[in-house]
Structure 1
Amino acid sequence: MGRIVVQNLGKAYRQYPTRWSRLAEWMLPGGPRHTLKWVLRDIGFTVEPGEAVGLIGINGAGKSTLLKLITGTTLPTTGGVHMEGRVAALLELGMGFHPDFTGRQNVFMAGQLLGMTVEEIQHLMPQIEAFAEIGDYMDQPVRVYSSGMQMRVAFSVATARRPDILIVDEALSVGDAYFQHKSFDRIRSFRRHGTTLLLVSHDKQAIQSLCDRAILLDGGRLARQGPPEEIMDFYNAMIAERENETVRLNATPEGKVQTVSGTGEATVADIALLDETGQRVEVVDVGSEVTLAVTVAARAHIPRMVLGYMIKDRLGQPMYGTNTHLKELPLQDVAAGEEVTYRFRFPMNLGPGTYSVATAIVSTETHLVNNYEWRDLALVFTVVNMRRPYFEGSAWLDPVIDIERT
């Protein structure tokens, strides 16, 4: 079983004021002539056997450097990493591939770097070729490959046998949708058999569907770790905070952490799910008509106000979302002290399960321009199936079936 232990990990690079300062430091007395530029500092966490952890952060947060330190391709300045088990890593796209060698030749080289013998690679080659699906290109030089083809070959050889630890960087993002589905299916299969996973991705759905826990890096430090939905909500709020807004964390009665961000110039004063009679409900039957009622209180003059909502499943994956900008119903010149009640009517065509509603009060279709308030877990409700035939899935898409026999 694979286990990763990261302790007090840090990475710094030397910076010299001039190109001659490096030589002077080597040749002349007088001590260091450089300053240290810290890329990572005081990083510590443990990934237990069989656990899947997602690593997120804006570009430049130190994610790729951390993976290089963990895999040993870069040496740390402080701290260390201890890993147990066989490791397969897919970091920079095509890392280690020689452009003048064929895909097949590169498979042999990459496989040996992963600890396989030539005989093992020969035995696995048909499986690698079948999974990569690049046909005759396997015997063409890698320099003629597209980025997606390189990723197909690199992923296929890295996962030709199930590792104890699988580390995947953003490389999968360059692949087409079909191969991404194949790749994530293979990762899920590895997880079911006990592989430990460390995944770097900006894909919110990938993090929330694959991972047990998420770690947020910010400015080279470990900013926060916890359940994937909570960390992804905090990450989105943190991006909005770059525009000089605030992020607040509130504990809900259910024990979850609710993220609220924005300037606070407008806020959701009340939110409720209503049945056909106008009564507040927390449990809804599949397919029944409901109304999502949201009351917004303006605390300052809002030149243009847009309200949006997103319904998410228990893993935080979006089921449906819209806003009054997309529906061409924005409000102009909302005065301070004014309250506005929105009512969204729709059939609850979701499958049985627990869902939450996130709300956003903005000025356009995005919260990155004027984020007055972004509120996750604004409402939690449950959908049950009391009147419909049994079905699988997250949506009620009951078909009319026509069968013709000849």
Structure 2
Amino acid sequence: MGLIKISSLGKAYKVYANRWSRLSEWLSLRKSNKHDLHWVIRDVNFDIQPGDAVGVIGINGAGKSTLLKLITGTTKPTEGRVEIKGRVAALLELGMGFHPDFTGRQNCYMSGQLLGYSKQEVEELLPEIEAFAEIGEYMDLPVRVYSSGMQMRLAFSVATARRPDVLIVDEALSVGDAYFQHKSFEKIRRFSQEGTTLLIVSHDKVAIQSICNRAILLANGSVLMDGQPEAVMDYYNAMLADRQKQQVKQIALDGGRIQTVSGTGGASVTEVRLLDANGKAVEVINSGEKVFIAVTIDTYEDIPRLVFGFSIKDRLGQVVFGTNTHHTQQALCDVAAGSRINLKISVVANIGVGNFSLQTALSGDDTHIAKNYEWRDLALLFTVVNGLYPHFDGPTRLETHIEFESL
């Protein structure tokens, strides 16, 4: 079983004022330093237990790729240590280890041997690798004629030809067509269910929340948050609007879920209720039932343009449906401080059985990035049951009618 243990890990690069400073340091008999250290990551600590699936997220430059290179040993740490137990397969950069002038088949042998396979084992695995990569006649052409998507297909197929104890995947899977991305994530999900320890870096919120049971948020080279994927992704979402001098707070709700509330505080959703057709507040509704979302908004400053948005999320925090008054062309203009606004939204709940939450947003445009007055996750929790229709599977209920035609 795979285990990853990171202890006080840090990576710094030397920065010289000019090339002469570098030369002076090299020639100095006293070995005096003529450089400053630029820390990419520092004092990173976490453990990943066997069978865990952990997602690493963060804005560009947060240190995600450097962290993976340190873990896989392609870069040496400046301080700290990395301990890994089990056979490791890593997919960091497209074509890493591939020779451009060798064919795909020849590169399979080289990459396989780098992963610890014998020549005979690679030969046994080649039919499976070819079948999964689906690159056809390109298997016997030089890799230099491959597209980036084809390189990713072959590299992933080799790295996952056998289930590893530890699988490490960087953003490489974001390259390529939707079909192969789906196919790859299904294989990763199966490996995770079978006991592979997974460490994945991705900006894909759906991938992180559907595959991982834990997420780590990196910021400025340090671990900012480590916890449930939904709570970490909500906090990351709040960080994207951080330049607005907003406040971000997290509140522990009953049941252990973490609510994230962020924004400048210029306006706030002060009440949210889910109502049935008779106007009664409910927490359990039927699939296909018409319900109403009643919202009260209070403003605390003059707002030139106010957009209200909401999303319905499933138990993993993935959006089932969302919209806002920018898209419906109902944004409010010149809202005065001290105003109270009541909204009533009618919704036909054609969604599947399960537990859901409502997220609300108050912004100045179609997203919260430019002007975030308030973003509130888990503003309301409710349950959907099916007491009106025949059994169905999936997150949505579609109107269907089956007709038989005699032959």
TM-score (norm 2): 0.98
Measured against aligned partners, the alpha-carbon deviations of 1:260-284 in whole angstroms (never above 9, x if no partner) come to 1111100001101000000111111
Cα separation, 1, equivalents of 2:186 and 2:208: 14
Cα separation, 1, equivalents of 2:178 and 2:58: 23
1:52-201 correspondence to structure 2 within 5 Å: 52-201=53-202
The answer (yes or no) to whether the contact 2:209–2:317 under 8 Å persists in 1 is yes
Tell me what 1:12 maps to. Answer: 12
The answer (yes or no) to whether the contact 1:241–1:261 under 8 Å persists in 2 is no
Deviation at 1:29, TM superposition (A): 3.4
Tell me what 2:29 maps to. Answer: 29
The answer (yes or no) to whether the contact 1:360–1:374 under 8 Å persists in 2 is yes
The answer (yes or no) to whether the contact 1:296–1:339 under 8 Å persists in 2 is yes
Report the aligned-residue RMSD.
1.0
Matching residue's letter, 2:136: G
1:356-395 correspondence to structure 2 within 5 Å: 356-395=357-396
SS at match of 1:74: coil
Deviation at 1:93, TM superposition (A): 1.0
Cα separation, 2, equivalents of 1:156 and 1:56: 24
Cα separation, 1, equivalents of 2:359 and 2:285: 18
Matching residue's letter, 1:27: L
Moved over 4 A (4+): none
Matching residue's letter, 1:9: L
Measured against aligned partners, the alpha-carbon deviations of 1:342-362 in whole angstroms (never above 9, x if no partner) come to 111011111111100111101
Deviation at 1:101, TM superposition (A): 1.1
Cα separation, 2, equivalents of 1:245 and 1:105: 54
Tell me what 1:405 maps to. Answer: 406
Cα separation, 1, equivalents of 2:18 and 2:369: 40
Deviation at 1:400, TM superposition (A): 1.0
Cα separation, 2, equivalents of 1:245 and 1:217: 19
The alignment status of 1:314 with 2:307, answered yes or no, reads no
Structure 2 residue runs without a partner (length 5+): none
Matching residue's letter, 2:10: G
Cα separation, 2, equivalents of 1:11 and 1:184: 30
Tell me what 2:242 maps to. Answer: 241
Measured against aligned partners, the alpha-carbon deviations of 1:145-192 in whole angstroms (never above 9, x if no partner) come to 111000000000000011000000000000211001110111111112
SS at match of 1:242: helix
SS at match of 1:65: helix
Matching residue's letter, 1:85: G
Matching residue's letter, 1:260: V
Cα separation, 2, equivalents of 1:287 and 1:116: 54
The alignment status of 1:48 with 2:49, answered yes or no, reads yes
SS at match of 1:392: coil
The answer (yes or no) to whether the contact 2:244–2:264 under 8 Å persists in 1 is no
Cα separation, 2, equivalents of 1:183 and 1:253: 36
Percent same amino acid at aligned positions? 60
SS at match of 2:192: helix
Matching residue's letter, 1:272: R
SS at match of 1:171: helix
Deviation at 1:19, TM superposition (A): 0.7
Cα separation, 2, equivalents of 1:177 and 1:34: 46
Tell me what 2:220 maps to. Answer: 219
Cα separation, 2, equivalents of 1:386 and 1:301: 46
SS at match of 1:390: coil
Matching residue's letter, 2:78: T
Tell me what 1:3 maps to. Answer: 3
Cα separation, 2, equivalents of 1:258 and 1:87: 36
Cα separation, 1, equivalents of 2:28 and 2:393: 74
Measured against aligned partners, the alpha-carbon deviations of 1:229-250 in whole angstroms (never above 9, x if no partner) come to 0000000001111332221112
Cα separation, 1, equivalents of 2:186 and 2:255: 32
Deviation at 1:402, TM superposition (A): 1.6
Deviation at 1:254, TM superposition (A): 3.3
SS at match of 2:334: strand
1:220-299 correspondence to structure 2 within 5 Å: 220-299=221-300
TM-score (norm 1): 0.98
Tell me what 2:356 maps to. Answer: 355
Deviation at 1:52, TM superposition (A): 0.2
Cα separation, 1, equivalents of 2:365 and 2:17: 45
Structure 1 residue runs without a partner (length 5+): none
